Structure 1
Amino acid sequence: MSRVLVLDKEQTRGGLDPGRVLDAVAAALVALSRGEVSAPPRIAAVAPAGLLGAMPAYVPGLGLAAKLVSVFATPGASGRSSHRGLVALFDHTDGRPLALLDAEPITAVRTAASATLSLRALAPDARRVAVIGTGVQASAQVALLAALHPALPVTVGARDGGRARALAATHPDASAASIEQAVRGANAVFCCTGATTPVFPRGWLGEGAHVSSVGGSHGHELDRDVIIDGTLFAEWPGAAAAAPPAGAYELQDVDPQRVTLLGAVLDGRHPGRVDRGGLTVFKSTGHGALDVAAASVVHAWARDQGVGTAVDL
């Protein structure tokens, strides 16, 4: 029998310190790029209205964990979806279960962290960014930018102006606009939607733009010409080499040799952006290694602060 620490949603969210999560996710991305992570491609059981994915991973120095997450479209709300589930953290030396955490805040924050790292690595001189979407992932992205880059102006672009204004109000220097206005005025664009068709055309992007796409769990979030024109980056090789739901819809007919791993840029083995006027694209599929990273941060915080309920399993 093991004593397992159980944290609810608010407790899990409370342990996701932005700086510590960013550092842990960076370490996981570097480990992925070096081939040091043990993780099978994500699998999923598909139900009529969504899917249930399984994502186990071991990351040296961070830990061993598995996530079960459901991704279901929001009824009556095109372009929005919910991600719910659990992250189970295990002792990597003897296999004991250590903690059960809420997957929703972990998924949102670790995904926002990887997108923010792509901004830092590929568009460090960006003067204005756009966040496209108003759901859970867009909210997490705006919150992380507010915590880590509060002086960087943000435009929230969405079809629903009221929701865009409400999200913009959570950031110290943000405004709301249409999707077109947000994209055309930005040096970097964060796509955080549940869209199944491209959110905007290539022509809306300015010279030297950077695009981070973390949505598209059910289809293409990015325009085909964005993929054709862009220098491509991803978390892991399977983003292009594996079929959905493990790989990205947008990268299925892309030569994997075109895709550079973001971790290789973060640790200096790849220069990242080589053409200041070119388009860079980070296409995120999510990866279990990032869940391990965020879960390790939450677990360490919970133990230090005495947070959570210990149960016998």
Structure 2
Amino acid sequence: MTARGPAHAPAVLDHDATVAALDPLRLLDAVGTALTAVAAGTVSAPPRIAAFGPYGLLGTMPAYVPGLGLAAKLVSVFDDPARPGRTAHQGVVALFDETDGRLLTLVDAEPLTALRTAATATAALLALARPDTARITVIGTGAQADAQLTLLSAVFGAPEDGLPGRRRPWAAGATPSVTLAGRDPDRTRELAGRHGVAAAASVESAVRAADAVLCCTAARAPVLDRAWLRPGAHVGSVGGSGGWEVDAATVRDARLFAEWDGAVTSPPPAGAHELQGADPARLTLVGSVLAGTRPGRRDPAELTLFKSTGHAALDVAAARVAHAAHQEQLGATP
């Protein structure tokens, strides 16, 4: 349901309206623009701040991205009693008019964050995976894995000319197989069935067979082992906000990519647990690969690792896509 008031009132998109407004391919393109702007140094985004209460925290992340706009996320992070050991993230992203400061749209931050994170991991996959990528494994059974499967389905279901600026690196017409792996067999089968992908017997078997692995978990300890990875594999890791999602040997052996330099230079949760202590010179910003100013994969046997920590510029990109789609639905100019 979408609330709509007078012409001057901001649009308010709830969960379902947000999901409906975030077309995966438009989101993928906008996220690519945001990543390129981050790498070019044209984004204005102050360090994240948070207020801590006895049971959780409220964080705020504002940013301005040229060509996309001005927005800020307010998000609460609390323990989820329905899922012991996991946290619930709830909040809003507010998009403002960059010319006069008017509040344009309030967007549900929970689905927006999951989908823009999946789009970011997908953009990195398209930029860094081997040209002969044939098998992709997604690890996880929660909301982030669900969003990642949605993005992969949209990309592989679209013609290459439907992916402006983000062409697939593999041969035209080739569609990689996707396998879902998780620790809970029932949850794995249920989510795999909803997306029409294979359910793996184990995480290890799925990783050993994959050319690319996308980790989408709330793990506090590594979910894969360097010894399981094939030569030339690409690994994307978007989870691990509470600890390591990728093992130290994989970090040691891989070429490292991230959205921003702070993935290495900032302490968690702004920075990545896995990249603390790494030489910043090892890191390449994925936006610079998209822009063509830095090389991506240099060798078929090279191991690449994209470690996502999120960035406020990505929230701006997603909020802009949602706002534009909503305005189109109303027959108005975005």
Asked whether the two chains share a fold, i.e. TM above 0.5, the reply is yes
- The answer on whether the counterparts of 2:180 and 2:197 sit within 8 Å (CA) in structure 1 is no
1-side partners of 2:229 and 2:96: how far apart?
44
* Of 112, 134, 137, the match for 1:130: 137
CA separation of 1:209 and 1:183: change in aligned 2, threshold 3 A: same
SS in 2 for 1:156: strand
* Of 208, 226, 239, the match for 1:202: 226
Give the letter aligned to residue 175 of structure 1.
A
1-side partners of 2:324 and 2:230: how far apart?
42
2-side partners of 1:189 and 1:49: how far apart?
34
Answering whether residue 124 of structure 2 is matched by residue 118 of structure 1, we say yes
Equivalence for 1:139: 146
Q: CA RMSD in A?
A: 1.8
- The answer on whether the counterparts of 1:28 and 1:59 sit within 8 Å (CA) in structure 2 is yes
1-side partners of 2:146 and 2:79: how far apart?
17
CA separation of 1:42 and 1:171: change in aligned 2, threshold 3 A: same
SS in 2 for 1:243: coil
* Of 90, 97, 100, the match for 1:94: 100
Answering whether residue 259 of structure 2 is matched by residue 235 of structure 1, we say yes
Equivalence for 1:6: 12
Equivalence for 2:40: 34
Q: Normalised by the size of structure 2, how large is the TM-score?
A: 0.88
Shift of residue 173, structure 1, vs aligned partner: 3.9
Give the letter aligned to residue 138 of structure 1.
A
Give the letter aligned to residue 267 of structure 1.
A
Matched residues, number: 307
SS in 1 for 2:10: strand
- Deviations along 1:243-286, one digit per CA (max 9) or x if unpaired, are 12211111111111111000010111112011211210000000
2-side partners of 1:62 and 1:114: how far apart?
16
- Deviations along 1:144-182, one digit per CA (max 9) or x if unpaired, are 111111432111111111111111112344333311111
CA separation of 1:224 and 1:69: change in aligned 2, threshold 3 A: same
CA separation of 1:156 and 1:9: change in aligned 2, threshold 3 A: same
Equivalence for 2:172: none
Equivalence for 1:148: 155
Give the letter aligned to residue 223 of structure 1.
D
CA separation of 1:218 and 1:33: change in aligned 2, threshold 3 A: same
Structure 1 unmatched ranges of 5 or more:
308-313
* Of 50, 64, 67, the match for 1:61: 67
Equivalence for 2:181: 157
Q: Normalised by the size of structure 1, how large is the TM-score?
A: 0.93
Answering whether residue 187 of structure 2 is matched by residue 181 of structure 1, we say no
CA separation of 1:77 and 1:185: change in aligned 2, threshold 3 A: farther
Give the letter aligned to residue 67 of structure 1.
K
2-side partners of 1:73 and 1:258: how far apart?
35
SS in 1 for 2:277: coil
Greater RCO, 1 or 2 (C-alpha within 8 Å, sep 6+): 1
Equivalence for 1:225: 249
CA separation of 1:107 and 1:210: change in aligned 2, threshold 3 A: same
Equivalence for 1:310: none
| Worse overlay, 67-76 or 221-230 | 67-76
Give the letter aligned to residue 275 of structure 1.
D
- The answer on whether the counterparts of 1:217 and 1:245 sit within 8 Å (CA) in structure 2 is yes
SS in 2 for 1:3: coil
CA separation of 1:200 and 1:73: change in aligned 2, threshold 3 A: farther
Answering whether residue 87 of structure 2 is matched by residue 81 of structure 1, we say yes
Equivalence for 1:247: 271
- The answer on whether the counterparts of 1:79 and 1:193 sit within 8 Å (CA) in structure 2 is no
2-side partners of 1:73 and 1:146: how far apart?
31
